[in-house]
Structures are given as C-alpha cells and as structure tokens.
Amino acid sequence: MNTFSRITGTGSYLPEKILSNKDLESMVDTSDQWIRERTGIVKRHIAADGQTTCDLAQQAAQLAIEAAGKTPREIDLIVVATTTPDKVFPSTACLLQQRLNANGCAAFDVQAVCTGFIYALSVADKFVSTGAAHCALVVGAETFSRVVDWTDRSTCVLFGDGAGAVVLEASEVQGILSSHLHADGAYENLLHVPGGISRGFDLADTEGDPRYTHMKGNEVFKMAVNTLGRIVDETLNANGMKKSDVDWLVPHQANIRIINATARKLNISMEKVVVTVDQHGNTSAASVPLALDTAVRDGRIQRDEVLLLEAFGGGFTWGSVLLRY
C-alpha cells in the first residue's frame, strides 16, 4: 500500500511587539491610509532585541507538536524554511532540534524566501510518502525585520516577523495531493538582499545598503499576480480537479491586492480565502503556515476539506501545495 502524508497538527507564533501603520508614519513619509489601500496591512509584529528566528520557530513548533498529540522524540525529520537564520551555521533546524530535545533525526533548512514553506512542505512530503520519515516537523520562521531598511518606505511598511509550523505524518489517507515548485533566477535583482557571507557587505555596485531588502515592488507585483494565476491552473490540472473543488485558498500573505487577484482567478469568494496579512504583514516563509494555523484554530478549516496553498517570492521562486486537510 502506498504511504501518503497528512497534516496532523498546526501551530504559529507572533512576537509580542507590534508596529502599527501609525507608528510607521513617524518613521518614514507614509500614511496609514496608503498602507491599508495599497497593501491591506494594518500592523506587523517585530521580534524583541535578542529574540531570534529559532525562538519564534520553537513556539510555533511546540504548538504544532501538541496539536498533533506527539512528543518531540517522535519527530524523525525537521525542515525549517527561513531566510533569516540565527547563525551562518549550524542550520536553524539543528538549533530547533536541540531546543525541542528531538535529537538524532535529520534536520536541515530550506531557503526559498517567501516560497520557503511551500518548498519545505513539498520536501517533507517526499520523505514521508517514500517511507524515509514518518513524523516530520515543517516550520516557516522569519525575523525579516532584521533585513529591512527602516528608512526605506518602499519596503519597511511591508514586512514583519513570525513563525508557523505543521506536523506531517505518514497516513493511509492521502493528505498532500500534489506539490508544484518553480524558480527563475533571472529575476535575482528585482527582490534581493545584495550582500552576503561570500560576496561581503561592502559592495561598490549596490545602490542603498547591501545588508537590506531591495525590491522593485511594482514589477514584483505584476509577476506575482501572473505567476500565481498560472499555478492555480497547473495545480488543478495535475489533479483533474475543478476550481469549485477547492474549499479554501491559503495564500502567501504579501499584499491583499495579490491575494484578491488569485482568488478571482480561482473564482472563489473571499469568504473562502484565509487572509491574515492585515494582522502581520509579509512574514516571508512564515506567512502560509501562520494563515493555515489561524484558520484551523478558529474552526474555519475542517478535516477533509481541500486546501490550495501557494506562494511567490525572491528568486523568483513560486509554488503550490494542494492537500486534503
């Protein structure tokens, strides 16, 4: 009999400190009205000084493990999607493993920026459905505020910190139906942090500070809308499903206008779209599992419903997971 993988628990965590649109008005030349109208964001959460990506990941992971009725010792794979790791090495997954006392299992990070959780979930599904793992912890966690230039209004209003996690277990029932991953490195410079460990941070060829996120917002926006529209078709076609078969769209939370466009493409009413971007802005790899956990815990998403998870981000990377919850 084939082994499938299925989500058995979800969790999420947002740091305590809140930065509102009003707060941003006193930091850069922006307004609450502009941010709400152009992005849908009302506030974002910011990690405290000294609070790291692993700290956020740990909170979300513990909740997911508890919801799945598991103990950390039963976890046999940890995949963490992050762009903002605590250390250059070891991976945040290894740090998390030690924190959870889940020692001994495979643990590694995946880096696909905002599409990171979709990549991580797809990788974990491959492990579980081939029998290489039985109980995987999949986390998306970011302290993206650390790579934001807080004097640049074109980016600083958009991002925030957070973490989300799921436990993915071997199952006779097919949970994950399919996953679809893509990347096109030709768009490297439209959304990137130019500096890095190998290139260094003292870069003569860079306008602005190479430590922080640079984005050509409008071009990214158009690409995101078109690409996510295409991936809806790709995902449904691969499963022989119709748009009306999808119960919930759980999209990457970057901009309400991008989410609206994907919902229109899917012909799904906004009541069936999980929107949390207003509450925490773009948390990169954390945003899809944050939205998923929110709608599971408030009772909107029910067992056996069909969910379409999708994301688009730096790379460019984009992808989707279709699953029966």
Residues forming contacts to ligand UT7 in the complex (CB under 6 A) are: 30, 34, 38-39, 114, 153-154, 157, 191, 217-218, 220-221, 224, 254-255, 258, 282, 312-313
Q: Report CA dihedral (253, 12, 7, 317) to the nearest 10 degrees.
A: 30
- The structure tokens listed for 168 are 């993915």
Q: In terms of Cα–Cα distance, which of 312, 37, 50, 47 is closest to 182?
A: 312
Taking the CA atoms of 165, 36, 153 and 192 in sequence, report the sign of the dihedral they define.
Answer: positive
Are 110 and 12 a contacting pair, CB within 8 Å?
no
Smaller CB separation from ligand UT7, 35 or 135? 35
Residue nearest to ligand UT7 (CB): 217
Smaller CB separation from ligand UT7, 90 or 150? 150
| Known catalytic residue at 94 | no
| Known catalytic residue at 135 | no
- The structure tokens listed for 72 are 């950390």
CB of 39 to ligand UT7, least distance (A): 5
Q: Exactly one of 54, 94, 105, 114 is catalytic; name it.
A: 114
CB of 230 to ligand UT7, least distance (A): 16
Smaller CB separation from ligand UT7, 154 or 174? 154
CB of 325 to ligand UT7, least distance (A): 24
| Known catalytic residue at 218 | no
C-alpha span between 61 and 100 (Å, rounded): 9
C-alpha span between 69 and 80 (Å, rounded): 20
CB of 252 to ligand UT7, least distance (A): 6
Q: Report CA dihedral (279, 282, 286, 292) to the nearest 10 degrees.
A: 50
Smaller CB separation from ligand UT7, 212 or 221? 221
Active site members: 114, 252, 282
